[in-house]
Amino acid sequence: MNNPLLESSTLPQFSKIKPEHITPAIDTLLAEARAVVNQQLQANSIYTWGNLIEPIENSEDKLNKAWSPISHMNSVVNTDELRDAYNACLSKLSEYSTEMGQNKALYSAYKQISESNHYLSLDIAQQKIITNALRDFRLSGIGLDADKQQRYKQIKQDLSRLSSKYEENVLDATNAWTQLISDKNLLAGLPETALSQAKQTAESQDQDGWMITLQFPSYIAVMTYADNRELRKEHYTAFATRASDQGSQSEEWDNSQVMEETLALRHEVAQLLGFKNYAEYSIATKMAETPEKVTTFLEDLADKSLNQAQQDFSDLKKFAQEHYDITDVQAWDVSYLSEKMRQHFYQLSQEEVKTYFPETRVIPGLFSVVEKLFGLNIIEIKDVDSWHTDARFFEIKDEKDQLRGHFFLDLYAREKKRGGAWMDDCVGRKKTADSVQHPVAYLTCNFTPPTADTPALLTHDEVTTLFHEFGHGLQHMLTQIDHLGVSGINGVEWDAVELPSQFMENWCWEKEALALISGHYQTGESLPNTLFQKMLDAKNFQSGMQMVRQLEFSLFDFKIHQQYNPAKGGQIYTTLNKIRERVAVSKAPEFNRFAHSFSHIFAGGYAAGYYSYKWAEVLSSDAYSLFEEKGIFDQTTGKAFLHHILEKGGSQEAMALFIDFRGREPQIDALLRHNGIAA
């Protein structure tokens, strides 16, 4: 059988990849990778970059380039067969990773290189890879005895399995809930674009009427615009109890036990390695030096934001009572009333704003922004093999017409695609003897698809999301580091990885940039000054509430890992409720099971690290403040950000790179100012 995952090709051959190809390919590549390690260890007594690290990096690159499309397709075109094959390989990959991390001969070889004169001849990126590897050996249990190493290995395999199960439960629970509405009056308040989409969804299921779902574009439309309070409550309840012990969904999707087991195993592995808890273990690879620095940072930010958040909610309650005779504002009312309040005080309708952000203007406008900032040229390439007809493919060249990288763009929500937005690594940059392997990224969103009559119209929040993910993509694709371990996003401290993404969001608020990314979808008319001014006036509307909501997520994530007690279990909602008492201004209902679908920390890379969004926002706000001083398209400043941040990847500590760009350590003032919160 010809296996497309084993064939040498520049890009994955998505249309040829079948579930039956997956396990044989991964088995073959894992065997090759193990053979390379053993061969290099046995063939040499004096180790160098060329006779040890480079061959291992090359074999693992082949493995990563096969696993990347498998993992990606599991997220965006999920099927039962693909899922089974994906899950079958998770334990194999986890076993290999642990085996390498606990290979004493390999550790000794790396250590020998680090202590040799040869090390001094290596460039800064190569030295950083070795430093990171020695740290990771320690974090993989290289110093443990055999029994504890075996236990570490089992825990890592179990955590990998649980992470996948958690994500599957969320996906299945989300896909399983639909509501067919036959009376259009029940959907009063919903804009035409949302109604058209609901009609299209019903038709795709051979149904008459309007079908609403828990896919985010459908959910947010109902919560923001539906006049029917009972419909909002029903929709909110279904969304807030996904994959949980509440609601009417299948018990097989309940993540309760998955979460308990995950927290217990994370705590055990941290203690096995000599850390007090998983939060302390997590910090070992991040910018923040201690758990105390994280909690102090978050609680200080909460103290600075809470008064404004309380005022925001007080204003909302007053508005609800005066205009809608609602005296008990509930969770399913907040988005709806906030939108009504925004319209009332700022005469700003999100639906009106959407008409000026058709995808057909936003995408080329985004490309124009990065061209002006960094001297890039982005061109679409047609007829490239992909996983779905929605996916498009582009190349990026710099001002010298040198190819920098490629990316796939998959923008629309659909069934069998997990929710949210993300950037992921398809191919990483590395230099070979005769060429450069250029990086390739996946950029994935879940926007409302176009209808037969209109292009995809994006909310301003969705435009910001697109810029955010593109910022991640730029760091991956523009890297000039030649070694995979620290090129692009590789090796970047997790609490600094959001810097480029949050940095790019700022251009969504600048008139000069908006002129490039907006235009009425029917007339092409520019975003009117009056509408732009309303957007600016409303920019920090409820910013206090938004700030404490993110701090709630961050503190909850950190505390459940920092305070875990095996005798008491996860205490997930006990901890969450305590944090809500401390920072939340809007009370969540008893049945709310937010944590059961908090994929960032239970199935993503953000465990005891969700604080990274706020931590990196300090960096991104302060970095952007230099553009505010020099001009938002100042090319000298743009090139400085390109050279000091985007091109350097993880080759140096994030703080050192930030200081190189900004001339000093980051300051919190710009973050507070951008959020309209007084310092």
Q: How many CA atoms lie within 13 A of 293 on its CB side?
A: 12
Element housing 296 (H / E): helix 291-324
* 674: CB partners within 8 A, 6+ apart: 506, 621, 624
Q: In whole angstroms, what is the distance from residue 478 CA to residue 287 CA? A: 22
Residue 469 bears catalytic tag = yes
Amino acid at 195: L
Spell out the alpha helix ranges (H) of 140-277. 146-176, 192-204, 216-225, 229-240, 256-272
Rounded CA-CA distance 280/558 in Å is 10
Annotated catalytic residue, options 469, 493, 498, 552 = 469
Alpha-carbon gap, residue 455 to 465, rounded angstroms: 18
What are the angstrom distances between the C-alpha of 146 and each of 102, 104, 138, 152? Answer: 10, 11, 14, 10
Q: Are 526 and 519 in contact (CB under 8 A)?
A: yes
* C-alpha atoms less than 13 angstroms from C-alpha of 499 in its C-beta half-sphere: 28
Strand locations in 261-382, DSSP E? 377-380
Long-range contacts of 629-634 (CB under 8 A, 24+ apart): 632/506, 632/507, 632/510, 632/512, 632/513, 633/372, 633/373, 633/512
Q: What is the spatial distance between Cα 490 and Cα 475, in angstroms, rounded to a whole number? A: 10
Cβ count within 10 A of residue 597: 25
Count CB atoms within 10 A of the CB of residue 306. 18
Sequence-separated (6 or more) residues with CB below 8 Å from residue 279? 291, 294, 558, 561, 562, 608
| Cα end-to-end distance, the chain, whole Å | 65
Rounded to 5 degrees, φ, ψ at 143 are: -90, 5
CA 139 – CA 36 distance, rounded (Å): 23
Structure tokens at 151: 């236990």
Q: Which residues are known catalytic residues?
A: 469
